[in-house]
Chains A and B, each alone.
Chain A
Amino acid sequence: MGRLLGVELARLRWRRAVRVLVAAAFVIPLFVFGGTAWSTRPVSEAEIAEATAQAEQEAQQPYVQESIEMCLEDPEMYFGPGFETEDPEQECIDANTPRDEWYLQRSPLDVPSVVNDLGTAIPVILAVLMLLAAATYVGADWASGSMSNQLLFEPRRGRVWAAKALVLAIVGAVVGLVVQTLFWVGVRGLAASRDIAVPGQTWDLVPGIVLRGTLIVVGAALLGYSLTMLFRSTVVTLGILFGVAVASTIIIAALPLGGDNERYMLHTNVGAVVQDGVDYYSSESYTCTYEDGVESCDGQRRLSLAGGASYLALILLLPGFAGLATFRRRDVP
C-alpha cells in the first residue's frame, strides 16, 4: 500500500492542473488576508482632518437643527419607547450632530467578526479548490484511459481506490492545516502590530476552527474524488455539482420540511461544523411575545456540530460507497 501511495502522490504532483489549484489555495487566502488588512488599516491624520472638516460643514446644514428640534419634541421616536434621560436636549444634540467618525468610512480590525466570518469562508474556499483538484486528478485518468493501464499493474481495485482517496485526504489535510494556520498567524500578527485588544477567548476558538475547517477541506476533496470515480468524468462531476448548487435551494424549499429548510442547506451545515454549531432561521420555531406592549419575535434555532457533521457525512458517504462499489464491479474501458 505504501508503494501505491507513493505512486499516487507522484501522479498528483505531476498533474499541472492540480499544482495550479494547490497554488491557488495559498494565493486566494493571501488575497483575502491582504484585503482584510487593507480595508481595516488605521486611518491617517489626513483622513481624520478631512472627516473633521466634513463633519463641521455638515453640522451647519439646516436639516441638522430641524432634526434636533424634532427629537426634542418626541424623544421616544428617536430613542425608542420608555426612553428617559436627565438631559434630553444634550442627548438629541449628540444623536443628530454629525461627528468625525461618521465620515471615516473604515472600521478597525474586528478580530471576533473576522474569526466568525473568515473562519468559515477560508475553509470553504479551500474546499472548493480541493474538490476541483480531486476531480481533475482522477478525471484525467478516466479521460486518457490510463486507469486500465494502472490496473494492469495493480488489479486489486479496492487498493487502487483507497490509495487515490488516501493521497487526496492527506494533501487536503496538509493544505487545509497549513493555509489556515498561516492565515490566523497573519491575522494575529496584524492585530498585534496595530495594538488591537482581542478577548482571549477569541483566539481560543481558532485551533478548533482550523481543525474542523480542515475536515471540511478533506471531505470536499473526497467528495470530488468519489463523484468522479462514480461518473468517470471531471466534466460530469462538475456539471452535477453545479446543477446541485443551483437547484438545491429550490428543491429543499419545495420539500415539506415544516419551515426548517435552512437546516438542510449546505452552508448552514458547513457553518455548524466549522463554528461548532450555528444559529439559523426557522419559520417553524418563529414565535412572538409581547411584554410591556413591546413585541419580540424569535425564529432562531441552533444546529449543533454533531448535527451538521452527520448531514455532511451522509452527503459524502453516499457517492463514496457508490463510487467504490461501481469501480470494483464495472468494466474499465
Chain B
Amino acid sequence: MIETHGLRKVFRTRRGEVRVAVDGLDLAVPAGGVHGFLGPNGSGKTTTIRMLLGLARATAGSMRLLGADVPSRLPDVIDRVGAVVESPKFSPHFTGRQNLMLLARTMGAAPDAVDRALDTVSLAGRDRERFKGYSLGMKQRLAIAATLLKDPELLILDEPTNGLDPAGIREIRDTIRELGATGVTVLLSSHILAEVQQVCTSATIIGNGRMLASGNVQELLASSGTSYRVRVADPAGARTVLKAAGFDAADAPDGLLTVDGDRPPEEISRTLGESGHWVAELTPVRVDLETFFLELTRDEQLGAA
C-alpha cells in the first residue's frame, strides 16, 4: 500500500545549515488494517507523510502509494487517498460546506458526497457556519470529512484526534477501527500511544528520520520481553538469592521485586522456595507500547533535551 526505499529529505535553513529530516527511511505498510506511525517530535513523521502526498519533494529515495510511483504518478491514485496533514487547513472565511464543496468539485465527487461526509462527522447542523468560528474539534472533524469525500482505499491521518474532547476521540477512534475493518488501509500518526495500541494492528517507529522498529504491534511488544512482579516477605534477601542464581532482579515500589522474564516463571518460584523465600505473588508484566516507544527513542529524547 505504502512503500518507501532510502527516502531522504534534507532541509537547508536560511543560515545555510543542513538539517536531515528523513534519513534513508524504508517504510512498508501492507494493505488492510490500521498501521501506526510513531516517533518523537521532529523525528520526520510529518515530513514523510508530506513527501508521500506530493507536498514536499524528496531529496533522494523512492516512494510508492497504491502501487504508483510518487510523485510522478500520484495524480493517478490521489482520488483513492484521503489525508489529514497536521492541523486542518481550510479557508477561514468560507463555511464548512463551502470548503468541502470546493474540494468535492475538484475531484468531481457525487453531489451528495458533501452531505454524506458532513453527516458522518456530525457536522451537518453547523455546516453553514464559517470555518474560522469552528472549535478545534470541529475543524478536525471537517478535515476528516474532507478525506471521506474520496471514499478512500488509503487514509493517512496525522494526529487526527488533536483538539478533540474524549467523546470525539472515541468517535474518531471507532471510525478509524471501522474503516480498518472494512478494508481501508489507515496510516495513523499519533502521539497518543494508548490510542495507537488500541487501534493499530501494526506500527512503525521512527527516530531522527530513521526506522527504529516495524511490525505487528503484539510481536513488537513481545520482542521487548516480559518481566515478572514478585512479592515476598523479605525482598532484599530474595533479590540476593535471585541474583546469585543468575536472574536480573531489581527493587520495585511497594516492597516488590521486578525480575526479567527471559527464563520461565516456575524457575523463579523454585529458586526462591529452595532458599526459604515463599512467593506470595508472581505476576507477568507485559510492556505496553508507550514503554516500548520510550525505550526505543530514549536516546533521541535525551538528545533533544
Enumerate chain A interface residues (CB-CB to B < 8 A): 3-4, 6-7, 10-11, 14-16, 140-141, 144-146, 148-156, 329, 331-332
Q: Is the CB of A10 within 8 A of B105?
A: yes
By a CB distance below 8 angstroms, the chain A residues around B55 are 148, 151-152, 331-332
Chain-A contact segment, one of B71-79, B197-205, B275-283, B289-297: B71-79
Q: Is the CB of B146 within 8 A of A149?
A: yes
Q: Is the CB of A144 within 8 A of B89?
A: yes
Q: Is the CB of B106 within 8 A of A150?
A: yes
A-B contact pairs, 17 of them (CB 8 A): A10-B101, A10-B105, A11-B91, A16-B93, A144-B90, A146-B99, A148-B89, A150-B102, A151-B55, A152-B78, A153-B103, A154-B75, A154-B107, A155-B54, A155-B75, A331-B55, A332-B55
A141 vs B94: C-alpha distance in the bound complex, in angstroms?
Answer: 12
Chain B interface size range: 20 to 34
Which residues of B (137-153) have their CB < 8 Å from a CB of A? Answer: 146, 150
Q: Is the CB of A152 within 8 A of B50?
A: no
B57 part of interface (Cβ distance < 8 Å): yes
Q: Is the CB of B91 within 8 A of A144?
A: yes
By a CB distance below 8 angstroms, the chain A residues around B106 are 3-4, 7, 150, 153-154
Given contacts A3-B108, A6-B105, A7-B105, contact A152 B98 (CB under 8 A): no
The 4 tightest CB contacts between A and B, nearest first, are A145-B89, A331-B56, A153-B106, A155-B54
| Partner of A155 from B74, B87, B89, B146 at Cβ < 8 Å | B74
B85 part of interface (Cβ distance < 8 Å): yes
A145 vs B93: C-alpha distance in the bound complex, in angstroms?
Answer: 13
The distance from the CB of B108 to the nearest CB of chain A, in whole angstroms, is: 6
The distance from the CB of B107 to the nearest CB of chain A, in whole angstroms, is: 5
A140 vs B53: C-alpha distance in the bound complex, in angstroms?
Answer: 22
What does DSSP make chain A's interface, helix, strand, loop or mixed? helix
By a CB distance below 8 angstroms, the chain A residues around B92 are 144
A151 vs B108: C-alpha distance in the bound complex, in angstroms?
Answer: 15
| Partner of A11 from B56, B89, B102, B107 at Cβ < 8 Å | B102
A150 vs B104: C-alpha distance in the bound complex, in angstroms?
Answer: 10
By a CB distance below 8 angstroms, the chain A residues around B57 are 329, 331
The distance from the CB of A228 to the nearest CB of chain B, in whole angstroms, is: 15
B83 part of interface (Cβ distance < 8 Å): yes
A141 vs B98: C-alpha distance in the bound complex, in angstroms?
Answer: 14
Name the residue of chain A whose CB is nearest to the CB of B95. Answer: A14
Which residues of B (43-61) have their CB < 8 Å from a CB of A? Answer: 50, 53-57
By a CB distance below 8 angstroms, the chain A residues around B150 are 153
By a CB distance below 8 angstroms, the chain B residues around A11 are 91, 102
A143 vs B83: C-alpha distance in the bound complex, in angstroms?
Answer: 20
Q: Which of A14, A155, A156 has the most CB of B within 10 A?
A: A155
Q: Is the CB of A3 within 8 A of B105?
A: yes
- Taking A149-B146, A155-B78 as known contacts, 7 extra A-B pairs with beta carbons closer than 8 A to each other, sorted by chain A number, are A4-B106, A7-B106, A10-B105, A144-B90, A150-B106, A151-B54, A155-B75
By a CB distance below 8 angstroms, the chain B residues around A153 are 78, 103, 106-107, 150
Name the residue of chain A whose CB is nearest to the CB of B94. Answer: A14
Name the residue of chain A whose CB is nearest to the CB of B76. Answer: A155
Name the residue of chain A whose CB is nearest to the CB of B93. Answer: A16
By a CB distance below 8 angstroms, the chain B residues around A3 are 105-106, 108
A149 vs B74: C-alpha distance in the bound complex, in angstroms?
Answer: 15
Q: Which of A3, A10, A16, A152 has the most CB of B within 10 A?
A: A152
Q: Is the CB of B50 within 8 A of A155?
A: no
Name the residue of chain B whose CB is nearest to the CB of A331. Answer: B56
By a CB distance below 8 angstroms, the chain B residues around A16 are 93
By a CB distance below 8 angstroms, the chain A residues around B99 are 146
A10 vs B97: C-alpha distance in the bound complex, in angstroms?
Answer: 13
Q: Is the CB of B89 within 8 A of A149?
A: yes
Name the residue of chain B whose CB is nearest to the CB of A160. Answer: B106
A144 vs B53: C-alpha distance in the bound complex, in angstroms?
Answer: 19
Q: Is the CB of A146 within 8 A of B91?
A: yes
Name the residue of chain B whose CB is nearest to the CB of A11. Answer: B102
Name the residue of chain B whose CB is nearest to the CB of A332. Answer: B55
The distance from the CB of A39 to the nearest CB of chain B, in whole angstroms, is: 40
By a CB distance below 8 angstroms, the chain A residues around B71 are 155
The distance from the CB of B233 to the nearest CB of chain A, in whole angstroms, is: 62
The distance from the CB of B160 to the nearest CB of chain A, in whole angstroms, is: 14
Name the residue of chain B whose CB is nearest to the CB of A152. Answer: B83
By a CB distance below 8 angstroms, the chain A residues around B56 are 331-332
Q: Is the CB of B93 within 8 A of A15?
A: yes
The distance from the CB of B146 to the nearest CB of chain A, in whole angstroms, is: 7
A332 vs B57: C-alpha distance in the bound complex, in angstroms?
Answer: 9
A141 vs B92: C-alpha distance in the bound complex, in angstroms?
Answer: 10
Name the residue of chain A whose CB is nearest to the CB of B82. Answer: A152
The distance from the CB of B52 to the nearest CB of chain A, in whole angstroms, is: 11
Q: Is the CB of B93 within 8 A of A152?
A: no
A10 vs B98: C-alpha distance in the bound complex, in angstroms?
Answer: 9
Mark B146-179 against chain A: 1 for CB-CB distance below 8 A, else 0.
1000100000000000000000000000000000
A144 vs B83: C-alpha distance in the bound complex, in angstroms?
Answer: 17
By a CB distance below 8 angstroms, the chain B residues around A4 are 106
A150 vs B87: C-alpha distance in the bound complex, in angstroms?
Answer: 14
Mark B224-240 against chain A: 1 for CB-CB distance below 8 A, else 0.
00000000000000000
Which residues of B (103-125) have their CB < 8 Å from a CB of A? Answer: 103, 105-108
Name the residue of chain B whose CB is nearest to the CB of A3. Answer: B108
The distance from the CB of A159 to the nearest CB of chain B, in whole angstroms, is: 9
By a CB distance below 8 angstroms, the chain A residues around B98 are 14
The distance from the CB of A196 to the nearest CB of chain B, in whole angstroms, is: 47
